[in-house]
Structure 1
Amino acid sequence: MSLDADLLADRRRLRRRLTLWRALAILSVFGALAVLAGLRSDQVLPGAAHVLRLPVSGFISEDRRVIEALEEAAKNASVRALIVAIDSPGGTMAGGEALHAALRRFAERKPVVAVMGATAASAGYMAALPAQRVFARESTVTGSIGVLLQSFEVSELLERAGIRPQVFASGPLKDQPSLFRPLTEEGRAAMDRVIQDLHAQFVGMVAAGRHMDADRARSLADGRVFTGRQALEAGLVDAIGGEREARSWLAAERQVPETLPIRDVRTRGTAERLLSSATETVMKSLFSEWLGVDAPRALWQPSR
C-alpha cells in the first residue's frame, strides 16, 4: 500500500513538472513570435526616410507617450509624412483634444493624411480633423459630432431599501449630479452650460479643420453619424479610399514617394497593448459610471 502511494505521489509530481515546463515552452514560443512580429513591423534602417503610421483605435484618452512620440517624429528628418489610421468610436473630450492638438502641431511641419476604418466617430472623427486629406471607406461610420455627460441616481431604490444617505457639500452645485438625489433645475442648467461650451469647442475644430462655415459645421454637429459616402457629400471627408489612396495622394501632392516604407508609432510593449485593448473600454465605460459622474465624452454610443 505504501509503495502504491509513493508511486502515485511521484507520478503527480512528475505531471506538475511537465505541466510547468509545457507552460513555459508555450510562453517562450509566444514571446518569440511577438518579438519577430515587432521586428518585421519595424524593418526600417535607422535614419532611413519613411512614412509614419499612427494607429488610433479603441477608446481615446490622453496618452502622454503618443503625444511625445509625435513631437519627436515632427523633428525627425527621416519621417516624411504621417498616416493617421483611425478605427475608434471616440473617447473623452480631453483625450480627443490632446490628440487633435498634437496632430495639428505635426501637420504644421509635415504632411498628414487620415484614413478611416470601420468607425471614426466623435473623438475618433476629431483625430482626423488636423489632416490635410481625409479618406474614408464608403461604409465607414463617422461623424457623431457631439458631447455626452451622463450619470444616474438611485434615490428611489435607496428609499425602498430603507437607506438614507447623508451628503455634506460646500455648495448647492457641488453634489450635482448626484447618485443620491434627482438633479435640480439649477444643477441641470449648470451641466447644460458645460455641455454647450464643450460642444462649441468641438464645432470650432470641425469648422477650422474642414475649412467650413461655423453655421454649416454646427448644422452637422447634432450627434448623428454618417456613412463614408454621406460624409463625403457633407464635406466631412475629402475622398473615398484607404491607405493605398492615401499613399498615392502623398506622392502626387506632397512628393512623398510610395516606395518609402511605413513604420508604426510604437509607445507600448506587446503585452501592455494586449492588456490595454482587453480592459480599457470596460474600465472607462463601466467603472467611471458606477462611481458616479463620467468625464465629458465625445463617444458614439449605438445603443442610443
Structure 2
Amino acid sequence: MAASVSSALSADQIVDRRKMKRRITFWRIASLLLLAAAIASILWALGAFEGLSKRSSDHIARVKISGVITNDKPMLDLLEDLKEKEQVKAVILDISSPGGSTVGGEAIFEAVRDLAAEKPVASSVGTLAASAGYMIAAGSDHIVARRSSIVGSIGVIFQYGQVSELLDKIGVEVNEIKSSPLKAEPSPFKPASPEAKAMIDRIVQDSYQWFVGLVADRRGFTPSKARLLADGSIFTGAQGLENGLVDEIGDEETARAWLVAEKGLSDSLEIHTWKADRDNDLYLSNPAGKTAAALRWFAVQLGLATPAAPLGELYEMLPERLFLDGLVSMLQIDGAGTLGR
C-alpha cells in the first residue's frame, strides 16, 4: 500500500513538472516575442523602416555626392546597383563637391554614363560642382544649379612639396640611389629638374585635354569654346547657364520637374535617398585610411579617444583631406581666402 501511494505521488510530481516546463517554455517564447515587438516598435518610431518601405515602390533615387572625390568603390557599387532596381525610375545626383582625384572623377563619371544608358539621370548642384565634381555632373542628362552655386574649375593640377632649404637649415641630408634620373621625381628633398617638370607637365596636359574633350562632348561645345571655358575659371550657376555649363537654374524639384516633363515620368513619383554601403574596413584599403588608423591609435594612447570610438569618425575628418593619389582636379582655396586652381 505504501509503495502504491509512493508511486502515485511520483507520477503526480512528473505531471506537475511537465506542466511547469510547458508554462516556462510558453512564457519564454512570449517574452521573446514581446521583446521583438518592442524593438520593432522603437525602430518603427525612429523611422528605421521608413526608407525600406518607400524604396520598395516606384520612385526617383537621390544619390548624394559630396566632399572630396576619391576612387570610391562603394559609390560605384551603388550606381551599378541602381541600374538593376526596377522600382528606381530615374536618378538625381545631389552634388556638392570641390572635386578631388582625377581618377576618382573619371570612374564615377563613367558609372553615371552607364547608369544613364538604362534610366534618366539629372544633377542638382548645391554649393558647388567644381573640377572633378563638375566632371561627374557632366555625365548626367541635365544639370540644374542654383543661381549662386559654383560650377566649372575645369582643369588638372599636380602638386608636390619642396623642403630642401628647410632640411639644409636643420642639417638633414637625404641621399638616394635610383635606377634612372626620373625615378621618383619630382622629389620633396631637392628642386625639380627641368626634365622632371617636363614629365609632369606631359601627364597634366594629357589629362587636361581628355577633360576638355569630355566637357565638349557632353555639353555640345566646339573644341575652341570648351578650351575657352577650361582655363580653370569658376562660374556662378547663372554664369554657368549663360555659358552652357548648366541647363537650368533651380533645385532638386526643378530637376524632378524636368524628368517628368522630358522623360515621361509620373508626377506622383517621390524622391528617396539611396546611400552607398560603407564599412570601416574599406577605410584601411588606402593610405588615407591607414593614416587615420595610426592617428586614432596615438589618440587612444594619449587618452584623447577611446578604443570603442568608430574609425569612421577619423576617416570623415582627416584622410580624404590629407591624401589624394595621382592627379587632382579640384577647386582650392588658400589660407588667405583666395582661389587657386
Please state which band the TM-score falls in when normalised by the shorter chain.
0.7 to 0.9
1:282 aligns with 2:292: no
Deviations 1:3-52 (A, max 9, x none): xxxxxxxxxxxxxxxxxxxxxxxxxxxxx789935534444153x21111
Deviations 1:53-76 (A, max 9, x none): 110000111122221222221122
Matched residue, 1:52: 61
Whole-angstrom CA distance in 1 between matches of 2:75 and 2:84: 15
Give the 3 Å change call, closer, same or farther, for CA 229–38 of structure 1 in structure 2: farther
Where does 1:288-303 land on structure 2 (aligned, <5 Å)?
295-303=326-334
Where does 1:198-237 land on structure 2 (aligned, <5 Å)?
198-237=207-246
1:170 CA displacement: 1.4
1:281 CA displacement: 6.2
Where does 1:89-104 land on structure 2 (aligned, <5 Å)?
89-104=98-113
1:130 aligns with 2:161: no
Give the 3 Å change call, closer, same or farther, for CA 55–278 of structure 1 in structure 2: farther
Matched residue, 1:106: 115
Matched residue, 2:153: 144
Whole-angstrom CA distance in 2 between matches of 1:219 and 1:124: 19
Q: How many positions carry a matched residue from both structures?
A: 268
Contact between 1:155 and 1:180, CA under 8 Å: does it hold in 2? yes
Contact between 1:58 and 1:277, CA under 8 Å: does it hold in 2? no
Q: TM-score, normalised by structure 1?
A: 0.81
Matched residue, 1:187: 196
1:244 CA displacement: 0.8
**Equivalent residue in structure 2 for 1:83, among 81, 92, 103:** 92
Whole-angstrom CA distance in 2 between matches of 1:233 and 1:161: 54
**Equivalent residue in structure 2 for 1:119, among 103, 116, 128:** 128
Whole-angstrom CA distance in 2 between matches of 1:189 and 1:269: 39
Whole-angstrom CA distance in 1 between matches of 2:331 and 2:317: 13
Worse overlay, 276-285 or 112-121: 276-285
- Uncovered stretches (5+) of structure 2, i.e. residues with no partner: 1-41, 284-309, 335-339
Matched residue, 1:262: 271
Give the 3 Å change call, closer, same or farther, for CA 73–201 of structure 1 in structure 2: same
1:245 aligns with 2:254: yes
Deviations 1:241-286 (A, max 9, x none): 1111111111111111232122222223699999657634632333
Give the 3 Å change call, closer, same or farther, for CA 276–238 of structure 1 in structure 2: farther
Matched residue, 2:302: none
- Uncovered stretches (5+) of structure 1, i.e. residues with no partner: 1-31, 289-293
Contact between 1:59 and 1:280, CA under 8 Å: does it hold in 2? no
Q: Which letter maps to 2:326?
A: A
Relative CO higher for 1 or 2, CA cutoff 8 Å, sep ≥ 6?
A: 1
Q: TM-score, normalised by structure 2?
A: 0.73
Whole-angstrom CA distance in 2 between matches of 1:58 and 1:277: 15
Whole-angstrom CA distance in 1 between matches of 2:278 and 2:224: 44
Where does 1:34-73 land on structure 2 (aligned, <5 Å)?
36-44=46-54, 46=56, 48-73=57-82
Question: Which protein shows a greater Rg?
Answer: 2
Whole-angstrom CA distance in 1 between matches of 2:328 and 2:123: 22
Matched residue, 1:176: 185
SS of equivalent to 1:174 = coil
SS of equivalent to 1:217 = helix
Deviations 1:71-129 (A, max 9, x none): 22112222110101101111100000000000001111211110000111111111111
SS of equivalent to 2:128 = strand
